[in-house]
Amino acid sequence: MCGIVGYVGEKQALEVVVSGLRRLEYRGYDSAGVAVVADGTIQTRKKAGKLANLEGLLGDDPLPQSTTGIGHTRWATHGAPNDANAHPHVSGDGRVAVIHNGIIENFAVLRAELEAAGVTLLSETDSEVAAHLVSAELAQDPADLVAAVRRVCQRLTGAFTLVIVHADFPDLVVGARRNSPLVVGVGDGENFLASDVAAFIEYTRDAIELGQDQIVVLRRDGVEITDFFGEPTQVTPFTVTWDASAAEKGGYDLFMLKEIAEQPKAVADTLLGRIGSDGLLQLDNMTLSDHELREIDKIVIIACGTAYHSGMIAKYAIEHWTRIPTEVELASEFRYRDPILNSRILVIAISQSGETMDTLMAMRYAREQGSKVLAICNTQGSTIPREAAAALYTYAGPEIAVASTKAFLTQVVACYLVALYLAQVRGNKYGDEIATIVNELADMPGKVDLVLDTTEGVRELAQEFADAPSVLFIGRHVGFPVALEGALKLKELAYMHAEGFAAGELKHGPIALLEEGIPVVVVVPSPRGRGLLHEKIVSNIQEVRARGAKTIVIAEEGDELVVPYADHIIRVPACPTLMQPLVATVPLQVFACELATVKGHDVDQPRNLAKSVTVE
Ligand code: AGP
């Protein structure tokens, strides 16, 4: 989604803003622009395409020196990705510049009002109306830009994070936040605004996350935060726990390869400090009381994409360990199907970014219906955990690649911790039973590490199947969501048609897809696991092979029963049934990454995708 950077201080604003935008590139964008306040004027430069295009324009047509500036990378929602629709947008008199992230839902009415007043709008965007409205409001009281911005915010509906500068206020950057994220970086004699901390972390780690319907006034010597009506509001400063280098590639060619390799540590860090010396669980931020947790008689998991797949895996564990009925719902569908919710239903919102609008809006709906929400999230201070009743953070560290990997594994681990905690509080499991499962979890970083050593063979497979017209993924039990995740990775990285199925579903239709040479990836459960599962999936492998498929089998060490039916075997360490997703997913991540590389795609920033989808 859009990247936003604002700066006021002693440095040259353009340098800070452009380097900040570069650190936000992973959010996905299709145009970029900057504005500075200089010599009583607003100067803007903006260009479709990548930042390099904007930098080329700045080289040909430099901006004047300035210590106050804003910048934006746009992911098109309203209006094509072209120069005119790129941000910043300016008012008719050229004295107000605005950048925006989100969707102004009432922009058509506002646009018509402006045009009726004789204003000429130069773009197709919703965002441009904000620039003209600020200018119109300022005409009422030219001395108070902040009051003008507040009045505009009171008129907008939808999701909007705005950052504004004005020619008459050279030491001022004003920000406003509804839904789309906005973070303040607090420096010494300088201050920053950004969509996320990556943009300013090289300058300061002291940050404040803006809350809903808040205005921030940035000057070089201070920061003031109020609500849309000028009333002071509570803010939560925090210190960014990872440094700029963590957001870099650390020697890998791709962020995705780095993040795949970081999975053992990410899993270990997510377990850290949450298992007491007595083997029992102690969950930080679990602000739901034991009584509240005992009152729950149903769980609904809401999430999107990869997070949804981790929720599907969580369902097996939660129901198996706690016997609480658990549903898993696509967040984008959830609130439109008139779901049954009440105070005895715990909603678990899973989100790496904590800003996914589909999940955020589903969560708000659930809260309005009286359900408590527990957030599982990887981004400190983001909206979803901040608005939830309780939060369990994953500690995967910054996940920069658009395709989620380490966040997925840590979401599964965090869900397991919640499930075990519920079992512990509600008495479904004895302490020794919980300790046994906790020990199984504690073994997983090492087992994931072992898988990383076996991925060379996967890279060769990528070469063999690079031209396949389609790839099917099948699995049973927790292997089914793993199959779905493998298919999603291939779609989003290699742009290949891929589909995941419950293996038992093949005979009900999908098997008609099979023809000579079609690769079918099979996630095989442990032969020591739940009875019959292994036997049945071996039958499925035979079924697909009999129809010409090439079988790529993910099977645990020592499983010799699959050997006669596998064209390729990728071995993973033996694990208890519910732990298998943590190892079986890794080869599928590598497979997709390698196929994308073979095809010459931008693996870290795949086409059309954004790291955090902050529009519905
Ligand atoms: C995963 O590879 C995708 N990038 C996407 O499906 C992602 O998982 C989904 O958009 C949810 O994002 P979130 O976890 O930040 O809410």
**pLDDT digits 0-9 by tens, 531-572:** 789 999 999 999 999 999 999 999 999 999 999 999 999 999
158 pLDDT exceeds 90? no
Whether 613 is in the pocket of ligand 1, judged by its Cβ within 6 Å, is: yes
Q: Is the peptide bond before 170 cis (omega within 30 degrees of 0)?
A: no
Cβ–ligand 1 distance for 304 under 6 Å, the answer yes
Residue 131 to residue 378: CA distance in whole angstroms: 34
479-494 and 581-598 helices, crossing angle to 10°:
20
Top mean pLDDT of 37-46, 398-407, 525-534 is at 37-46
CA of 302 to the centre of ligand 1 (A): 12
Ligand 1 atom closest to Cα of residue 489: 2
Taking only the tens place, the pLDDT of each residue in 382-410 is 899 989 999 999 989 888 899 999 999 99
Q: Do the beta carbons of residue 610 and residue 505 sit within 8 Å?
A: no
- Structure confidence at residue 141 as a pLDDT band (50, 70, 90): very high
Q: How confident is the model at residue 235 (pLDDT cuts 50, 70, 90)?
A: confident
77 pLDDT band, cuts 50/70/90, is low
357 lines ligand 1 (CB under 6 A): no
| pLDDT range class, residue 248, cuts 50, 70, 90 | low
Using the mean position of ligand 1's atoms as its centre, give its distance from the Cα of residue 353 in Å: 8
Residue of 75, 263, 356 to mutate, ligand 1, most atoms within 8 A of C-beta: 356
How confident is the model at residue 285, as a pLDDT?
77
User: Is the pLDDT reported for residue 279 higher than 70?
Assistant: yes
* Mean pLDDT, the chain, integer: 93
CA gap 79, 456 in Å, rounded:
44
Question: Is 304 designated active site?
Answer: no
Residue 358, ligand 1, Cβ within 6 A: no
Q: Give the nearest ligand 1 atom to 404 CA.
A: 2
CB of 405 within 6 A of ligand 1: the answer is no
Which residues, at least 6 apart from 363, have a Cβ–Cβ distance to it below 8 Å? 302, 331, 347, 349, 373, 375, 384, 387, 388
Is residue 372 part of the annotated active site? The answer reads no
Q: Give Dmax (Cα) for the chain.
A: 81
User: Residue 516: is it exposed, middle or buried by C-beta count within 10 angstroms (0-12/13-18/19+)?
Assistant: exposed
CA–CA gap between residue 516 and residue 304 (Å, rounded): 34
Q: How many CA atoms lie within 13 A of 177 on its CB side?
A: 26
User: 612 alpha carbon to ligand 1 midpoint, in Å?
Assistant: 7
Q: Is the CB of 366 under 6 A from ligand 1?
A: no
Which band of pLDDT confidence, cut at 50, 70 and 90, is reported for residue 106?
A: confident
183 touches 6 (CB < 8 A): no
pLDDT for the residue 122: 93
HSE, side-chain direction, 13 A CA sphere, residue 391: 19
Q: What is the pLDDT of residue 459?
A: 82
Atom of ligand 1 nearest to the CA of 402: 4
Point out the catalytic residue in the list 2, 153, 304, 377: 2
**612 ligand 1 Cβ < 6 A:** yes
Mean pLDDT of 260-272: 93
Rounded to 10°, the helix 305-322/406-426 angle is 20
Q: 131 C-alpha vs ligand 1 centroid, how far in Å?
A: 32
Spatial separation of the C-alpha atoms in residues 145 and 480, rounded to whole Å: 55
Q: Angle at Cα 509 formed by Cα 508 and Cα 510, nearest 5°?
A: 120
Say if residues 303 and 311 touch (Cβ distance below 8 Å).
Answer: yes
Q: How far is the CA of 377 from the centre of ligand 1 (A)?
A: 11
- In angstroms, rounded to a whole number, what is the distance separating the alpha carbons of residues 407 and 262? 10
567-591 as b/e: b if 16+ CB within 10 A:
ebbbbbbbbebbbbbbbbbbbbbbb
Q: Which residue has the higher pLDDT, 324 or 103?
A: 324
Residue 588 near residue 50, CB atoms below 8 Å: no
- Answer whether 114's CB lies under 8 Å from 127's CB: no
| Ligand 1 close to Cβ of residue 305 (< 6 A) | yes
User: Which residue has its alpha carbon closest to ligand 1 atom 5?
Assistant: 305
pLDDT digits (tens, 9 = 90+) for 440-467: 999 999 999 999 987 778 888 888 999 9
Catalytic option among 47, 447, 489, 611: 611
Q: Does ligand 1 have an atom closer than 6 angstroms to the CB of 585?
A: no
> Which ligand 1 atom lies nearest to the CA of residue 356?
16
Contact 449, 497 (CB under 8 A): no
The reply to whether ligand 1 has any atom less than 6 angstroms from the CB of 307 is yes
Asked if residues 44 and 58 have their Cβ atoms less than 8 Å apart, the reply is no
